[in-house]
């Protein structure tokens, strides 16, 4: 347990909030319940109300903890400063894939991470439509819990050769352009698709539906939980840097650069080489 918190108790809170604040609004949103908070970025009443409910329940579960929520940060970027201290911080994406949610596409999820001292201690990704939660605690493995089913441990499987592997790609490589374009032009990769929900790409990674992924604009609510879950499932993650062949370790405080995730080190190195030299 982290800070005496049982990961199942947090999962139960997330499920309850999803069932009361998110699912009842799915495919039932009214026009006035959707707005653009910044160009190309939507927020719905489900985002706002679920973040508020999670904030209340999680800080009650862990007194003295702080919250960095996506919607709160949109109103007050100063809440990012919570990550600089030693206090435990709940990092919340109340509805990852809001555009999908607003369009009635069932590819959205709730992401929660617990960060302390700059390190991710635990993470949860919950798919409300599937009623499935993937969770991890540092040093304790990654686990999948589905409604009506037994919990099972997740392990990253070896992937096929990069030439035939499946990749989920978003973001840019500094001074080189869009990662998706670089990989396509190289002629050295298999099937690629653009990321529309970071949460679902992490679920696909640890459950074997996607072989590798690359993300840019690594906001903590999108990636803190997923990187930990992927690592606890045995995967490798790190930022791509021209100056080193090694994965640059993930930090929830870093929001720029290209984050690359693979099952093991050799595939990471091969993909890094394609991205940097193609």
Residues 136 and 199 in one domain: no
Pick from 96, 124, 154: which residue ends a domain? 154
Binned at pLDDT 50, 70 and 90, residue 192 comes out as very high
Binned at pLDDT 50, 70 and 90, residue 278 comes out as confident
Residue 226 has pLDDT above 70, yes or no: yes
Residues 146 and 168 in one domain: no
Binned at pLDDT 50, 70 and 90, residue 148 comes out as confident
Residues 15 and 65 in one domain: yes
Residues 209 and 145 in one domain: no
Average pLDDT over residues 242-253: 93
What DSSP string describes 70-111?
A: HHHHHH-GGGGGGGGSSS-EEEEEEEESHHHHHTT-S--EEE
Residues 87 and 207 in one domain: no
> Which residues are CB-neighbours of 80 under 8 A, at least 6 positions away?
68, 73, 253
Record the pTM: 0.96
Average pLDDT over residues 6-10: 95
Give the model's pLDDT for residue 73: 96
Residues 34 and 139 in one domain: yes
- pLDDT tens for 78-131 read 999 999 999 999 999 999 999 999 999 999 999 999 999 999 999 999 999 999
Count of domains for the chain? 2
Give the model's pLDDT for residue 243: 84
Residues 82 and 138 in one domain: yes
Residues 130 and 196 in one domain: no
Residues 97 and 181 in one domain: no
Q: Are 263 and 241 in contact (CB under 8 A)?
A: no
What phi and psi, each to the nearest 5 degrees, are found at residue 211? -90, -35
Structural domain harbouring 269: 162-277
Give the model's pLDDT for residue 106: 97
Give the model's pLDDT for residue 147: 84
- pLDDT tens for 170-184 read 999 988 899 999 999
The CATH number given to whatever domain includes residue 132 is: 3.30.540.10
Distance CA 247, CA 214 (A): 12
Give the model's pLDDT for residue 37: 87
121: number of Cβ within 10 Å? 20
Give domain status of residue 1, yes or no.
no
Give domain status of residue 186, yes or no.
yes
Give the model's pLDDT for residue 39: 82
Pick from 124, 154, 184: which residue ends a domain? 154
Give the model's pLDDT for residue 1: 64
The CATH number given to whatever domain includes residue 203 is: 3.40.190.80
Pick from 102, 120, 154: which residue ends a domain? 154
Give domain status of residue 184, yes or no.
yes
Residue 38 has pLDDT above 90, yes or no: no
Distance CA 203, CA 198 (A): 9
């Amino acid at each position: 347990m982290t800070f005496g918190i049982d990961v199942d108790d947090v999962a139960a809170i997330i499920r309850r909030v999803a069932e009361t604040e998110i699912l009842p609004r799915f495919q039932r949103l009214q026009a006035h319940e959707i707005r653009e908070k910044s160009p190309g970025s939507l927020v719905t009443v489900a985002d706002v109300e679920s973040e508020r409910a999670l904030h209340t329940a999680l800080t009650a579960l862990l007194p003295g903890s702080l919250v960095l929520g996506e919607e709160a940060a949109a109103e007050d970027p100063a809440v990012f400063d919570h990550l600089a201290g030693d206090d435990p911080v709940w990092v919340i994406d109340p509805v990852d894939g809001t555009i999908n949610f607003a369009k009635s596409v069932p590819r959205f999820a709730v992401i929660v991470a617990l960060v302390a001292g700059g390190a991710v201690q635990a993470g949860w990704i919950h798919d409300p439509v599937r009623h499935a939660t993937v969770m991890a605690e540092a040093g304790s493995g990654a686990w999948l819990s589905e409604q009506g089913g037994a919990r099972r441990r997740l392990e990253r499987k070896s992937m096929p050769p990069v030439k035939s592997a499946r990749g989920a790609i978003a973001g840019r490589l500094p001074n080189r352009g869009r990662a998706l374009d670089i990989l396509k032009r190289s002629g050295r990769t298999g099937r690629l698709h653009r990321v529309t929900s970071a949460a679902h790409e992490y679920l696909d990674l640890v459950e074997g539906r996607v072989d590798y992924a690359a993300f840019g604009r690594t906001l903590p609510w999108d990636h803190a939980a997923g990187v930990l879950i992927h690592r606890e499932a045995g995967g490798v993650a790190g930022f791509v840097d021209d100056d080193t062949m090694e994965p640059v370790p993930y930090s929830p405080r870093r929001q720029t650069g290209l984050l690359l995730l693979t099952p093991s080190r050799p595939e990471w190195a091969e993909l890094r080489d394609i991205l940097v030299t193609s």
